[in-house]
Amino acid sequence: MNRRIGPRSVLLIAMPLAVARFVGAAFLGPGSALAFAAVCVASGATLGADMVILPAMFSVALTQAGLSASQPFGLWSFAGKLGLALAAFVILPVPQTFGFTPGAQNTDAALRTLTVAYAVLPCVLKLCVLAIVLALPLRTGA
């Protein structure tokens, strides 16, 4: 019997696992290098779903809307790079605004801000993407 799990189902499994694993980084303290390495390995294991399946589903949806096959991937690539640039522009200065200085002794407030910016916010964004995936019509590759 050949059972196939579609891309939507894989995302619905992988995305919550990525959030559950990466949220662990928010609870790590100083000197938790091994635990942080475990969080990185575990969250990296689910990264393939984001890097491969989401663009493929996006491409299918846009192709069904009448765009050529190359336009969806170009648009996805542009959106990803724009999102990364905007995140760097907006998020990178936030911890510094709250007193975080890399390599220095930092206050608890500065460290909490860093934790929220780099561990909690990405999980919130991934949950938003998960909500969008849940809203996608089943015909786009379920």
pLDDT tens string 43-68: 787 877 777 887 777 777 777 878 77
Nearest to 46 by CA among 81, 19, 9: 19
Q: What is the pLDDT of residues 126-137, one digit of tens each?
A: 898 888 878 877
Nearest to 18 by CA among 142, 129, 141, 136: 129
Nearest to 43 by CA among 72, 14, 64: 14
Task: Please check the confidence at residue 111 and state whether its pLDDT lies above 80.
Answer: yes
Match 């969250």 to its residue by tokens.
Answer: 43
Task: Please check the confidence at residue 112 and state whether its pLDDT lies above 60.
Answer: yes
pTM over 0.95? The answer is no
Dist CA 61 CA 59 (whole Å)? 5
